[in-house]
Amino acid sequence: MTGWTGESLRRAALQALGPVGDALARDALSRGEIDIAPGVARWEASAGRVEGHRVTLRVDSTCLERIRHQPSVYDALCAAFAAAVATRPGESLFELELHSVTGGMTETPYRGRRP
């Protein structure tokens, strides 16, 4: 099972984003609250068993609104988290959820609000 913490995943995702990554994605990663739900999905891949983790990023409502209007930022966040999680064998990002720090709604730029 995973040994990720919010802070260790933040550092790894920022490193994966790189120095020229999207500025809004960097800001969201730097200031947001990160939670990991490990092993929410499992599957067999060609290299063996994989555990998929759900990552939740909580940001302020202004940042969330900006991300909702720029789907490429959500893509950059997914790529950064996926690259970070995949540094550990047998682990993968299953899902990235965005939440407002003040609200209880799940946000994605493609689906809009979900309860």
In tens, the pLDDT along 21-60 reads: 999 999 999 999 999 999 999 999 998 999 999 999 999 9
Q: How many domains does the chain have?
A: 1
Q: Are strands 91-100 and 106-108 parallel, antiparallel or unpaired?
A: antiparallel
Q: Are strands 106-108 and 112-114 parallel, antiparallel or unpaired?
A: antiparallel
In a domain, 28, yes or no: yes
In a domain, 101, yes or no: yes
In a domain, 60, yes or no: no
In a domain, 39, yes or no: yes
State the pLDDT confidence band at 91, using cuts at 50, 70 and 90: very high
With beta carbons less than 8 A apart as the criterion, state whether 30 and 14 touch: yes
In a domain, 57, yes or no: no
**For residues 87 and 12, what is the distance between their CA atoms, to the nearest angstrom?**
9
Q: What is the mean pLDDT of residues 3-26?
A: 95
> What is this structure's pTM?
0.85
Say which DSSP state 101 is in: S
- Give the domain range for residue 110: 6-52+65-114
In a domain, 59, yes or no: no
In a domain, 58, yes or no: no
